[in-house]
Amino acid sequence: LTILGLESSCDDTGAAVVRQAGGARPEILSNVVAGQGALHAAFGGVVPEIAARAHVEKLDHCVERALHEAGLRLREVDAIAVTAGPGLIGGVLAGVMCAKGLAAAAVKPLVGVNHLAGHALTPRLTDALPFPYLMLLVSGGHCQFLVVRAPDRFERLGGTIDDAPGEAFDKTAKLLGLPQPGGPSVEQAAARGDPARFAFPRPLLDRAGCDMSFSGLKTALLRARDGLVAAQGGLTEGDRADLCAGFQAAVCDVLAEKTRRALARAGTPALAVAGGVAANGAVRAALEEAAAGVRFIAPPAALCTDNAAMIAWAGLEAYRAGRVDDMGLPARPRWPLDAASRPMLGGGK
């Protein structure tokens, strides 16, 4: 099976071709990602209207490049998979419309994919990972533990009750005047910092269960920053590094401890991690340690952040299971991965 996948739910436009022959290892034949960082830089965050327009402009070109790099014509793919939600609705609509156009023109089946399922199934693209496994999905908009039992069966064990860690990384960068997206800049600064200088909170560790909270951490960081600014009139490079290191260490501690509890509850033989924050080296190391005794899988960083290969792969898993959508496939701003919203892949009714 050869699947063309499209992604446009946030600020990255992507097109990719993934192939799996029988039970062989899946292959990523191409994975084109066009970021929009520069377009949004002046606004300190993603502007949905600008993102949607940019997706409309870039999608065709990304699809052409993805097919070209894969050495294929559109008529040679078996199906077209597209992120049908959740995400910024303008961008999701742009992708769904583009995919419908391609499917109609080439007379190919259309498969609507849940973006979160794309993240959550990525470890099966990069590794021979059987079901079930525990997934920590930790991204810009989400943070949850899922027991993944099948391509369309996700059981939620808990998650953040407020902010997602990626959002907290982005806000931390903004508060400290570091470039967006915040994750990579905070990670870089943290590498030079002292994680023990500031005592940041580890919220909800005293409470049973797998729920997490990250909004208090943001407030603590703001207070520490304001304290330094009031005392010294500004921040030094060293202050910034120490604040980032302290913040990152707190995130790692919370994720690691809650992961231990989630593993104990899930009883699965493997822990996998995905989503943009899983690109963070310290987070990966903390989770690997928490996964002692079970197999640990963290896909390469470029497949943890938004990309279309994960959508093509989730589409391939869905298509192989016999799911396809018709031209009525809706674009959904919200589309939770829990049992109430099944089917998660395809059949977007």
Nearer to ligand ATP, 298 or 316 (CB): 298
Nearer to ligand ATP, 193 or 275 (CB): 275
- The residues, ordered by sequence, that sit 6+ positions from 85 with a Cβ below 8 Å of its Cβ are 9, 92, 114, 115, 330, 331, 332, 333, 334, 335, 348
**Annotated binding residue 115:** yes
Which x/- pattern, by CB under 5 A, does the window 258-297 give for Fe ion? ----------------------------------------
**Annotated binding residue 158:** no
**Annotated binding residue 27:** no
**Annotated binding residue 177:** no
**Annotated binding residue 137:** yes
Q: Residue 246's binding partner, choosing from Fe ion, ligand ATP, none, with beta-carbon cut-off 5 to 8 A by kind?
A: none
Q: How far is 147 from 120, CA to CA, in rounded Å?
A: 10
Query: Distance of alpha carbon 23 from its chain centroid, rounded?
Result: 26
Smallest gap from residue 198 Cβ to ligand ATP (A):
18
Task: State which of residues 11, 187, 306, 325 lies at the interface with Fe ion (CB under 5 A).
Answer: 306
Residues 111-140 within binding reach of Fe ion (CB under 5 A)? 139
What does the DSSP 8-state code read for residue 41? Answer: G
Q: How far is 189 from 201, CA to CA, in rounded Å?
A: 20
Q: Residue 182's binding partner, choosing from ligand ATP, Fe ion, none, with beta-carbon cut-off 5 to 8 A by kind?
A: ligand ATP
Smallest gap from residue 173 Cβ to ligand ATP (A):
8
Q: Name the residues that contact ligand ATP, by CB under 6 A.
A: 10, 87, 115, 119, 139-142, 166-167, 169-170, 181-184, 187, 275-277, 279-280, 305-306
Burial class (CB in 10 A: 0-12, 13-18, 19+), 53: middle
Bridge partners for 3 per DSSP: 18, 79
Q: Residue 181's binding partner, choosing from ligand ATP, Fe ion, none, with beta-carbon cut-off 5 to 8 A by kind?
A: ligand ATP
Nearer to Fe ion, 126 or 139 (CB): 139
Nearest-CA neighbor of 154 among 167, 140, 166, 136?
A: 136
Return the SS3 of 264: helix
How are strands ordered across the β-sheet holding 153-159?
153-159, 143-150, 133-138, 270-274, 295-297
Binding residues for substrate: 137-141, 170, 183, 187, 280
Binding residues for Fe cation: 115, 119, 306
